[in-house]
Amino acid sequence: MSDALLSQAEIDALLCQLSEPEPAKPAFDEAIAVNATEIQPAKAVQGKTARKDHPNLERILDIPLNVMVSLGEIRKEVQDILALHPGTIVELERIANEPVDIFINGKLIARGEVVVVDERFGVRVTHIISPHERIKRLV
């Protein structure tokens, strides 16, 4: 294994090789616990067969990625932001119980639903965005 860094195109190509048809909805105990800047699978048994099927995957397994879950967003004017105080409710454009977006390094890769795992918020992945869908979003 060389110490050369992979380009974004090489990483995308490797991730595209791993794409499979949309999986069935995971069980509750497979939910992903989100803790500010880190994400940890509730069960760490995943990935063993992927390493055998895709030996090049070993090259990128320890690359840190930024994971962000977007509950929603809204645009506000400066005067509205300055008027915020404790207890203010900021309404988002999302409807309650609508799936949240999951971004990896700023790219939408999945959708999920908010869950509580051991008194922490988490996200259960319900849909993985296919490479074809990601390409359609670029246009």
- pLDDT tens for residues 90-118? 988 888 888 999 999 989 999 999 998 88
What was the pLDDT predicted at 29?
A: 39
Does the CA dihedral 112-114-115-117 come out positive or negative?
A: positive
How would you class 83 by CB atoms within 10 Å of its CB: exposed for 0-12, middle for 13-18, buried for 19 or more? exposed
What was the pLDDT predicted at 11?
A: 75
What was the pLDDT predicted at 8?
A: 79
Q: How far apart are CA 41 and CA 30, in angstroms?
A: 7
Q: What is the pTM of this model?
A: 0.54
- Residue 43 · residue 29 · CB < 8 Å: yes
* Extents of the domains making up the chain: 24-42+64-138
For domain 24-42+64-138, which architecture applies?
A: Roll (2.30)
What was the pLDDT predicted at 137?
A: 79
The partner residues of 102 in beta bridges, in order of sequence, read 69, 110
Pair of tokens at residue 63: 């690359």
